């Protein structure tokens, strides 16, 4: 039994980190214009991790095969389909059964299989929250590298506040942001040769230079076609599926960098800068406030209650204002709930 995924004749793996709503689709979709690169819409396996213990011992073939079937189902339930990819859980099990077993091994073998179907030499998983499992992934794939995409936390948290996939509060989302960036910075400090950090603002200002830098890091050739988002069929597709992705059909606009100034209250800016300040300093973002706010457990508890209420209202609004987006997101959520019910039963 081997302790790692076989490195010979294998596609190179990349994980984009550390947290969503940072402009990651803009980068992924442009890289996908390369014939040597493949990065499908992510599985976001973090949403599935709470179910993992319910499979019991994965050394039992029945449990592991059950997990493989369910992860293939999760891929099928994705909002954005993986064009030209059909997966056979029996073949996946036969390929994986003599290697160390984990949910990460299953997810990445699915990605490798999809990459082979697209004749790619490099694959990237944009399941950014998987930064919290980086050590497990490095043990599984010793050649994995990480693309760390940083965005001004005020702009990113403002975007997170409006996304149904996150919380509906600046304090709560700032805590998510800090936890993810703490993991990413720790990873970059421990493995500087395996982590490339770029700022989204720099990408907006000079797409060509940043894309060339990324291509050099991940080992593919930079081609001018990457700069033409109109060549991306998926970009046009996802821009019609959700308001969260509408901007992906065109080039990012520099004037939107500071849009958070009109979306956040002064208190929100102060909260975000208080919690993320050291990372802002590290990545070169200038603070606009001087005093800090102390966040108490009572404040967090109150914000969690309000956020949960607002999330429920957001689902209701989405079902009315964009029912297609609602149905696609609910299908995936309902699939995970169905698996949970079946496992508990």
Mean pLDDT, residues 226-255:
63
Under 8 Å between Cβ of 18 and 180: yes
* Residues in contact with 48: Cβ distance below 8 Å, sequence separation at least 6, in sequence order: 71, 74, 103, 336
Angle formed at CA 152 by CA 137 and CA 181, multiple of 5 degrees: 25
- Looking at per-residue pLDDT, the higher value among 290 and 203 belongs to 203
Confidence of residue 324 (pLDDT cuts 50, 70, 90): confident
Residue 240 reports pLDDT greater than 70: no
What pLDDT, on a 0 to 100 scale, did the predictor assign at position 227?
83
- Please list the alpha-helical segments (H only) found in 193-232: 200-205, 207-218
Residue 249 reports pLDDT greater than 70: no
Mean pLDDT, residues 8-30:
85
> Long-range contacts for 224-230 (Cβ within 8 Å, ≥24 apart)?
225/33, 225/34, 226/30, 226/31, 226/33, 226/34, 227/30, 228/33, 229/26, 229/29, 229/30
Q: How far apart are CA 64 and CA 67, in angstroms?
A: 5
Task: Give the domain ranges of the chain.
Answer: 12-344
Output phi, psi for 22, to 5 deg.
Answer: -115, 5
Confidence of residue 2 (pLDDT cuts 50, 70, 90): very low
> Taking the model in full, what pTM does it have?
0.89
Q: Which residues pair with 38 in a beta bridge?
A: 123
DSSP state of 124: E
Question: How buried is residue 323: exposed, middle or buried, by Cβ count under 10 Å (0-12/13-18/19+)?
Answer: exposed
Query: What is the per-residue pLDDT across 81-135, written as a single tens digit (0 to 9) for each?
Result: 888 888 999 999 999 999 999 999 999 999 999 999 999 999 999 999 999 999 9
Query: What is the per-residue pLDDT across 305-317, written as a single tens digit (0 to 9) for each?
Result: 988 998 888 888 8
Residue 53 reports pLDDT greater than 80: yes
Confidence of residue 7 (pLDDT cuts 50, 70, 90): very low
pLDDT over 90 for what percent of the chain?
A: 59
Return mean pLDDT, the chain. Answer: 88
Q: Which of 153, 251, 134 is nearest to 204 (CA)?
A: 251
Residue 8 reports pLDDT greater than 70: no
Mean pLDDT, residues 30-50:
92
What pLDDT, on a 0 to 100 scale, did the predictor assign at position 247?
59
Q: How far apart are CA 286 and CA 269, in angstroms?
A: 12
Residue 3 reports pLDDT greater than 60: no
Confidence of residue 244 (pLDDT cuts 50, 70, 90): low
The count of residues in the chain is 345
Residue 51 reports pLDDT greater than 50: yes
Q: What is the layout of strands, in order, in the sheet containing 12-17? A: 37-38, 122-125, 12-17, 145-150, 195-199
pLDDT over 70 for what percent of the chain?
A: 90
Under 8 Å between Cβ of 178 and 48: no
Query: What is the per-residue pLDDT across 67-89, written as a single tens digit (0 to 9) for each?
Result: 999 999 999 988 888 888 889 99
Identify the CATH number of the domain defined by range 12-344.
3.40.50.300
What pLDDT, on a 0 to 100 scale, did the predictor assign at position 135?
96
Q: Is 279 helix (H, G, I), strand (E, B) or coil?
A: helix
- Please list the alpha-helical segments (H only) found in the chain: 24-31, 61-76, 89-96, 103-117, 134-140, 153-160, 170-190, 200-205, 207-218, 233-241, 260-263, 266-283, 297-321, 323-344
Question: How buried is residue 233: exposed, middle or buried, by Cβ count under 10 Å (0-12/13-18/19+)?
Answer: exposed
């Amino acid at each position: 039994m081997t302790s790692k995924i076989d490195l010979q004749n294998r596609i190179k793996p990349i994980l984009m980190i550390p947290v969503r709503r940072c402009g990651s689709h803009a980068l992924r979709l442009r890289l996908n214009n390369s014939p040597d690169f493949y990065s499908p819409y992510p599985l976001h396996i973090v949403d599935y991790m709470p179910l993992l213990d319910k499979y019991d011992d994965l050394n039992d073939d029945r449990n592991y095969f059950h997990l493989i079937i369910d992860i293939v189902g999760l891929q099928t339930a994705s909002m954005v389909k993986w064009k030209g990819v059909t997966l056979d859980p029996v073949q996946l099990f036969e390929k994986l059964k003599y290697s160390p077993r984990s949910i990460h091994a299953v997810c990445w073998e699915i990605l490798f299989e999809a990459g082979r179907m697209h004749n790619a030499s490099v694959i990237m998983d944009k399941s950014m929250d998987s930064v919290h499992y980086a050590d497990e992934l490095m043990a599984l794939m010793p050649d994995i590298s990480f693309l760390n995409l940083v965005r001004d936390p005020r702009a990113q948290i403002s975007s997170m506040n409006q996304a149904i996939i996150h919380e509906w509060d600046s304090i709560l989302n700032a805590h998510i942001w800090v936890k993810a960036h703490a993991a990413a910075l720790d990873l970059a400090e421990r493995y500087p040769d395996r982590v490339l950090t770029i700022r989204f603002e720099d990408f907006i200002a000079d797409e060509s230079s940043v894309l060339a830098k990324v291509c050099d890091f991940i080992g593919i050739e930079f081609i001018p076609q990457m700069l033409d988002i109109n060549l991306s069929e998926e970009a046009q597709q996802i821009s019609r599926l959700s308001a969260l992705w509408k901007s992906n059909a065109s080039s990012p606009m520099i004037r939107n960098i500071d849009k958070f100034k009109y979306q956040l209250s002064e208190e929100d800016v102060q909260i975000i800068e208080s919690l993320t300040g050291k990372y802002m300093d590290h990545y070169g973002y200038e603070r606009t406030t001087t005093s800090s706010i102390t966040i108490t457990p009572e404040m967090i508890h109150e914000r969690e209650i309000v956020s949960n209420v607002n999330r429920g209202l957001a689902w209701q609004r989405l079902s009315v204002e964009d029912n297609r987006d609602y149905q696609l997101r609910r299908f995936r959520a309902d699939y995970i709930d169905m698996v949970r019910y079946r496992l508990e039963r």
